[in-house]
Amino acid sequence: MTPAPIAVALDAPDLETAAHWASLVTPHVTTVKVGLELYLRYGPDVIASVRGASGVQVFLDLKLHDIPNTVAGAARAVARLKPAILTVHATGGPAMIRAAVEAVPHTQIAAVTLLTSLSEADLEQMGVRGPAEDAVRRLSAMAVAAGAQALVCSPREVAAVRAEVGPDITLITPGVRPAGAESQDQARVATPERAFADGADLLVIGRPITGSADPGATAAGIAAALRRTSAATGHGA
């Protein structure tokens, strides 16, 4: 069975747990995601540990955000780990995004628009103009113009972003929660089927899979549901 376009967030307490979760879900998903906390705790070793012998794609979610020269240097520093995807914050601006893209030509640079933990009230307090969807569309257009090959946006905005940037940009959606799962610290959420049907290319799912009694079986179940959605909508997985 073809693995589903899911990035399992390996937000584990230790390296052994992260590697174990990765081994359980890898038959069912295309990608595993290593976040800032795990990378800072274990460094480059974590990438080899979660990749294992499977060759699964690794999404290195560091959300780089600094002056262009510093971000370029940081991107080059992790390029030898061969991550499939590396994140930067879109709010770092076009020069910063362009510097990251040029620094790692063999890695897909994904620009994070607005964190899915932010609510409309948060954005207003931060001075971000307009509703979240409008802000995300503006950031998306700017990031793509600067060379970003992928965008990270909440599933609530994915349809609007797809309309804004066209079919060739990879849309990555965190804040994905299977029906019945708790939203936890995500404010703008949707089910995997809804996010996929709206045009997402890669769904980031963490605790609903890794916090379950059987992460492998849970990943397999979500993957099967996505395949059914794909067959029904014609959206290729």
Express the helix, strand and coil content of the chain in percent, nearest 5 each: 45, 20, 35
Q: Which of 38, 91, 28 is nearest to 225 (CA)?
A: 28
**Spatial contact of 28 and 3, defined as CB atoms under 8 Å apart:** yes
Per-residue confidence of the chain (237 residues) as pLDDT tens digits? 789 999 999 999 999 999 999 999 999 999 999 999 999 999 999 999 999 878 899 999 999 999 999 999 999 999 999 999 999 999 999 999 999 999 999 999 999 998 878 888 999 999 988 888 999 999 999 999 999 999 999 888 999 999 999 999 999 998 777 765 554 444 445 788 888 888 999 999 999 999 999 999 999 999 998 888 776 655 555
- pTM for the model stands at 0.90
Cα–Cα distance, 140 to 153 (Å, whole number): 9
Task: Determine the residue type at 109.
Answer: I
> How distant is the alpha carbon of residue 123 from its chain centre?
21
Phi and psi, residue 33, nearest 5°: -110, 130
SS3 166: coil
Task: Please list the active-site residues.
Answer: 63
SS3 34: strand
Cα–Cα distance, 83 to 97 (Å, whole number): 17
